[in-house]
Chain A
Amino acid sequence: MMKAFLTTLLACAVSYAAAPILIQNATILTVTKGTYKGSVLIRDGKIAEVGEKVTAPAGATIVDGTGKYVMPGIIDCHSHIASDAINEGSVSVSSMVGIPDTINPDDIDIYRALAGGVTTANILHGSANSIGGKTIVLKMRWGKDAHDMIFQGALPGIKFALGENPKRAGNPTGQRINATLRYPATRMGVEDVIREAFQDAKIYQQEWKDYNAKVARGESAVPPRRDERLEPLVEVLEGKRLVHAHCYRQDEILMLLKVGDEFGFKIRTLQHVLEGYKVAKEIADHGTGASTFSDWWAYKLEAFDAIPYNAAIMTRKGVIVSLNSDDAQLMRHLNDEAAKTMKYGGLTEDEALALITINPAKQLMIDNKVGSIEVGKDADLAIYDEHPLSNYAKVDKVFIDGELYFDRDKDIAGRPAKEADKEKLLEKEKQMEQQRRPNGGTNRRPAE
């Protein structure tokens, strides 16, 4: 009697912890440790085993991977989905605002990104300001609340923007007719805004250091006013906040690297960086990563020298390069974009795949957790029905932390029921409408 009770209890406990999952007999694209036919075992949200021969433990759910391709979930280093706001365009230094305050987990583009193989995205403030707002890394955990989407352990970031966008509001013939002009109006001014801001940040940092020293000595002191705008900049100076800088032309790229040197901080990633190929050496020397488009060009003047070989050249010159989307649609086929670097510049398959997996992971300093199929990393995986670098491929399933967040078959199977639910509500509304106006269904009142 007792034994039966205990066994039942144990069984319940076992089934409570999610069963391990074995993706079997697929082509595994580990990105860092080669490609081969094999299997991946997921346990407790992590990759427990990966290899040519992996035995299924008792109670494991088997996912048949025959003919399929498994790769690490795609990491998009530049996205604006999942937020109720993108730009605080009123001031040139808006470091006090941040995406973390406006995460929108209901954004359907999260689900659509999942369906395109994306498991992690770096959500950035827009490019309206020389120094923009705070940024955050999210996992595409569709259905969870905002807080549960945050990539735990990823360092916070901040967005800078150089070039045409942050100076648009200073242009007298620019977009808005009656708006007040906002400094800067030139690239010279953009550098000035950044240097002034960091000058202020340095002074503020010193004020706090002095105050803390006084307190440590037991002296009475008045603390400085906590300034939300300067706090993130101090974090940058202290290496606690990563800088992601939108930039295009080689001159502004070089400018920012040197401003970083002047104030003693590193630019973590250059975003878009479409002329990065011209100063790849300097970028590599500074230790900055580059996150770029595969082949966008000519939509504005500063993009006119953009070339699809950008990623390949920078890679060859020693820069860690990632491909990003900056767009809810482009995000859905970053695998296609990666393939372009094989055509334009001759990157290998693994190098191309790295641009959307391990490289962005390194850039965001989360490569100990994601970015490749290696034991111990998070089970963030995408299963494709063809090789992901083929245009004929589509995503079958996506796992995040070992949980199935997207399943194409289930999605399609669920559509009739969703339609029916919608029809029901529409019908219900129509009924209520007719009840309220029993005299023929018009809104009109005689007096009008």
Chain B
Amino acid sequence: MKTCILAIAMSLPLLAGADDSFLIRGATVHPVTGPEIKDGSVLVRDGKIIGIGHNLSAPKGVRVIEAKGLHVYPGIIDSGTELGVSEIGAIRESVDTGELGTFNPQLRSEIAINPSSEHIPVTRANGITTVVVMPMGAGGGGRRGGGGGIINGQAALVHLDGWTWEEMEVQKSAAMAMRFPTIQSPFGRFGGGDPSELPPGFTRTTFTDQKKTYESQLRELREFFEEARRYQKAKETKAPGFKPDLKYEAMLPVLEGKVPVVAMGGHERAIRDAVKFADDEKVKLIIGEPRELGKMGPELKAKNIPAVLGPTLALPEHEDDGYDSAYSLPAEFYKAGVKFALGSFSNEFSRNLPYQAGTAVAFGLPKEEALKAITINAAQIWGVGDKLGSLEEGKWADLMVTDGDPLETKTQVKQVFIKGKTVDLENKHHRLYEKYLARP
């Protein structure tokens, strides 16, 4: 009986009036920035949340969605993805995450997003409404390729709905993606330093050489910033002989502190170096995909530098690390008072972001914090905390209706709304499911 009502209730939006106005009622509402509201209502008008509370009533013409027994959450934000810019990792032609060249601030990921990517419907079907599309640097399929570039381009913040990337846009330039120079362990997966374990023919690069490379890269980076500053000055003062340059133009918002730099690093040293650099160059910094926190907690907290953590479900960095070192990293960041969001740094696994958050809870992260890491924290880190990330009056109606806790796998996402518009949850996987289930 209940299912029946629900089914009818779900189909109502197709019959009733304006698509981006509706009232959800009878659900447990989870604003994230406030306590949960049992038997609550969310009122949406023209794509914005205009009311949250108990027993709100729908104005005339606004359809009602009965959601008894269900839950309403803000739409999930994935703070690091390849969605739309990489289709099949192994096929180079379908991958656009990494360009050639060392300093490419002028590259914009937004315009390379394919709104018809099969990954988009599949991902939003699990309640992910907004993602950051991150350029990763040369080498093929994003993080699978590895960075050769230092400044890789502008990351875009987009909604997972729209006929064109223009319609999807939330922020064309949410951050400048940087792979900060750092001294990497020379062995990679052969870590441990035992020379007799190297495969035959493999020669080690010495720390001295690594350091030289690092220092020269750092020098190049600093010079680039200096040139950008000179350009900035020349432009401001309308210096004679001034010629516009796309690369330096793209650096201006970074120098002005309007666009943060996401420094992809890894180890503690990379974080340290990035923080120092940001101090020296006076730019806003976000730490990208750190694999450890080390002793950097207090400094990150004091300087209000947030982080975007990669997948929780990862192997430890070193053989001697605790087996749960990656699992408990989010909890570590939380305990150190460092604000963070979570990113899948993937396309195919973006839909599993809430489960990464769930595992973090098992290993010490409070449940509310886990939810914040994929909603409000993310929104605030990307500078759209006034528009997204929680169920509050005045914010966009990016939200989902579920039959349970979104961090639990078994939970079904019943409905998704982006800016108040119903999102079509049909996707390639579901279509193939129906088709082949019905095969005689």
Chain B residues whose CB sits within 8 angstroms of the CB of A109 once the complex forms: 315
Number of A residues near B (Cβ < 8 Å) is 48
Q: Mark B102-138, 1 if CB is under 8 A from A, else 0.
A: 0000000000000000110000000000000000000
A299: chain B residues within 8 A (beta carbon): 88-90, 348
Q: A343 with B89: in contact, given A392-B361, A411-B322 (CB under 8 Å)?
A: no
Task: Find chain B residues with CB under 8 A from A66 CB.
Answer: none
Instruction: Flag whether B220 is at the interface (Cβ < 8 A).
Output: no
Minimum CB distance partner of B361 in chain A: A392
Between A115, A298, A340, A343, the greatest number of chain B beta carbons within 10 A of the residue's beta carbon is seen for A298
On whether the beta carbons of A329 and B436 are closer than 8 Å, the reply is: no
A422:B433 contact, CB within 8 angstroms: no
Q: Is B358 interfacial (CB 8 A cutoff)?
A: yes
List the one stretch of A11-19, A87-95, A150-158, A274-282 in contact with chain B: A274-282
User: Is A211 an interface residue when CB atoms closer than 8 A count as contact?
Assistant: no
A328 / chain B contacts, CB cutoff of 8 Å: 315
Closest chain-B Cβ to A117's Cβ sits at a distance in Å of 12
User: Once the chains bind, are A115 and B324 in contact (CB under 8 Å)?
Assistant: yes
Asked whether A336 and B432 contact (CB < 8 A) given A299-B89, A391-B362, the answer is no
CA–CA, A67 and B158, complex, Å: 43
Q: In the complex, how many angstroms separate the beta carbon of A105 from the nearest chain B beta carbon?
A: 15
Chain B residue contacts of A308, Cβ below 8 A: 429
Question: Of B174-182, B246-254, B406-414, which stretch is located at the interface?
Answer: B406-414
Once bound together, how far apart are the Cα atoms of A392 and B358, in whole Å? Answer: 6
Q: How far is the CA of A308 from the CA of B412 in the complex (A)?
A: 14
Are A298 and B118 in contact, with the CB atoms below 8 A? yes
Interchain nearest-CB distance for B407 vs A (Å): 6
Q: Does B323 count as interface, using CB distance less than 8 angstroms?
A: yes
A366 within 8 A of B: no
CB of B225 within 8 Å of the partner chain: no
Q: Which of B342-360 contact A (CB under 8 A)?
A: 347-348, 351-352, 355, 358-359
Question: Residues of B contacting A281 with CB < 8 Å?
Answer: 439
In the bound complex, residues from chain B placing their C-beta under 8 Å from that of A108 are 319
Asked if B87 lies at the interface with its beta carbon under 8 angstroms from chain A, I say: yes
Return chain B residues, CB-CB under 8 Å to A204.
none
Fill in one digit per residue for A335-350: 1 if any B CB lies within 8 Å of its CB, else 0: 0100110111100000
- Given the complex of chains A and B, what is the CA–CA distance between A296 and B352 in angstroms? 11
**Binary contact readout B123-162 vs A (1 if CB under 8 angstroms, 0 otherwise):** 0000000000000000000000000000000000000000
Contact B362 A418 (CB under 8 A): no
Q: A115-B324, A280-B436 are in contact. Are A329 and B408 (CB under 8 A)?
A: no
- Give A332 to B359 CA distance when docked, in angstroms: 12
Could you say which residues of chain B place their CB within 8 Å of the CB of A296?
A: 348
Q: Would you call B323 and A411 a contact (CB within 8 A)?
A: yes
* Given A307-B429, A343-B409, A391-B409: A313 touches B436 (CB 8 Å cut-off): yes
Cβ of A263 under 8 Å from chain B? no
Q: Assess the A298–B429 pair: CB atoms within 8 A.
A: no
Could you tell me if B412 and A422 are in contact, using CB atoms closer than 8 angstroms? no
B320 proximity list for chain A (CB < 8 A)? 418, 422
Q: How far is the CA of A333 from the CA of B313 in the complex (A)?
A: 8
Contact between A389 and B363, CB atoms less than 8 A apart? no
State whether the Cβ of B239 lies closer than 8 Å to any Cβ in chain A.
Answer: no
Min Cβ gap B374→A in Å is 13
A304 contacts the other chain (CB 8 A): yes
CB interface residues, A 297-327, toward B, < 8 Å: 297-301, 303-305, 307-309, 313, 316
**Smallest Cβ-Cβ distance to A346: which chain B residue:** B412
Interchain CB contact under 8 A, A391 and B408: yes
Task: Specify which chain B residues have a CB less than 8 angstroms from the CB of A344 in the assembled complex.
Answer: 429, 433
Query: Contact check: which of B87, B90, B359, B411 meets A336 at CB < 8 Å?
Result: B359
- In the complex, the chain A residue whose C-beta lies closest to that of B91 is A301
Q: Give the residues in chain B near A411, CB-CB below 8 Å.
A: 322-323
A329 → chain B, closest Cβ, in Å?
5
Chain A hits for B408, CB < 8 A:
339, 390-392
A-contact bits for B73-91, CB 8 A (1 contact / 0 none) = 0000000000000011111
CB distance from A108 to the nearest CB of B (A): 5
Task: Verify if A198 is at the interface (C-beta below 8 Å from B).
Answer: no
Contact yes or no, B88 A298, CB < 8 A: yes
A343 to B126, CA, bound (A): 10
Q: Is the CB of B432 within 8 A of A305?
A: yes
Known: A298-B88, A301-B91, A343-B412. A415 touches B429 (CB 8 A): no
Task: Say yes or no: is A393 at the interface (Cβ < 8 Å to chain B).
Answer: yes
Judge whether B100 is part of the interface by a CB distance below 8 angstroms: no
Contact A298 B87, beta carbon cutoff 8 Å = yes
Give Cα A295 to B323, complex, Å: 24
Taking the complex as formed, is B437 at the interface, i.e. its CB lies under 8 A from any CB of chain A? yes
Measured in the bound complex, the distance between the Cα atoms of B181 and A350 in whole Å is 50
Which residues of chain A are within 8 angstroms of B316 by Cβ–Cβ distance?
112
Q: Which residues of B are found within 8 Å of A280, using beta-carbon distances?
A: 436, 439
Q: Name the interface residues of A70-119: CB closer than 8 Å to any CB of B.
A: 108-109, 111-112, 115
Minimum CB–CB distance from A300 to chain B (whole Å) comes to: 4
In the complex, the answer to whether B352 meets A295 with C-beta atoms within 8 Å is: yes
Give Cα A301 to B92, complex, Å: 11
- Please determine whether A339 and B410 come into contact, CB atoms closer than 8 angstroms: yes
- Residue B314 lies at the interface, judged by CB distance under 8 Å to chain A: yes
B322 partner residues in chain A, CB cutoff 8 A: 411-412, 415
Contacts of A298 in B (CB 8 A): 87-89, 118-119, 347-348
Would A343 and B91 be within 8 Å (CB), given that A277-B432, A313-B436 are in contact? no
Chain A neighbourhood of B439, CB < 8 A: 278, 280-281
B residues near A297, Cβ cutoff 8 Å:
348, 429
Q: Are A392 and B362 in contact (CB under 8 A)?
A: yes
Q: Are B358 and A391 in contact, CB atoms less than 8 angstroms apart? A: yes
The interface residues of chain A lying within 8 Å CB-to-CB of B319 are 108
A277-B355 CB under 8 A given contacts A342-B409, A422-B320:
no
CA of A108 to CA of B325 in the docked complex: distance in angstroms? 14
Contact A342/B429 with A277-B436, A386-B362, A391-B362 known, Cβ cut-off 8 Å:
no
Structural contact, B362 and A393, CB atoms closer than 8 A: yes
- Cβ-closest chain A residue relative to B431: A307
Chain A 287-298 interface 0/1 with B at a Cβ cutoff of 8 Å (1 = within): 000000001111
Q: Which B residues touch A295, using CB under 8 A? A: 351-352
The answer to whether B409 touches A112 (Cβ under 8 A) is: no
Whether a CB of chain B sits under 8 angstroms from the CB of A182 is no
The residue in chain B whose Cβ has the minimal distance to the Cβ of A316 is B437
B410: chain A residues at CB < 8 Å are 339, 342-343, 389
Bound CA span A296–B90, Å: 14
Q: How far is the CB of A277 from chain B (nearest CB, A)?
A: 5
A300 touches B89 (CB 8 A): yes
Q: Are A336 and B355 in contact (CB under 8 A)?
A: yes
A329 to B316, CA, bound (A): 9
Nearest-neighbour CB distance to chain A for B307, whole angstroms, equals 21
Q: For residue B323, which residues in chain A have a CB less than 8 angstroms away from its CB?
A: 111-112, 115, 332, 411
Q: Mark A151-184, 1 if CB is under 8 A from B, else 0.
A: 0000000000000100000000000000000000
The reply on A394 being an interface residue by CB < 8 A is: yes
285-317 of chain B: CB within 8 A of chain A: 313-316
Give bound CA distance, A281 to B436, whole Å: 10
In the bound assembly, the distance between CA atoms of A303 and B359 in angstroms comes to: 26
Q: How far is the CA of A112 from the CA of B325 in the complex (A)?
A: 11
CB-based contact A278/B362 at 8 Å: no
Separation of A344 and B413 alpha carbons in the complex (Å): 11
Kindly list chain A residues whose C-beta atoms are within 8 Å of the C-beta of B436.
277-278, 280, 313
* Interface pairs A-B: 7 shortest CB-CB: A391-B358, A339-B409, A300-B90, A309-B433, A307-B429, A115-B323, A394-B362
23 contacts between A and B (CB under 8 A): A112-B315, A278-B439, A280-B436, A281-B439, A297-B429, A298-B347, A301-B88, A303-B88, A309-B430, A309-B433, A309-B437, A313-B436, A328-B315, A336-B359, A339-B409, A343-B410, A390-B358, A392-B358, A392-B362, A392-B408, A411-B322, A411-B323, A412-B322
With contacts A304-B118, A336-B359 known, what are 10 further pairs, Cβ within 8 A?
A: A115-B323, A298-B119, A328-B315, A386-B362, A391-B355, A391-B361, A392-B361, A392-B362, A392-B408, A394-B363
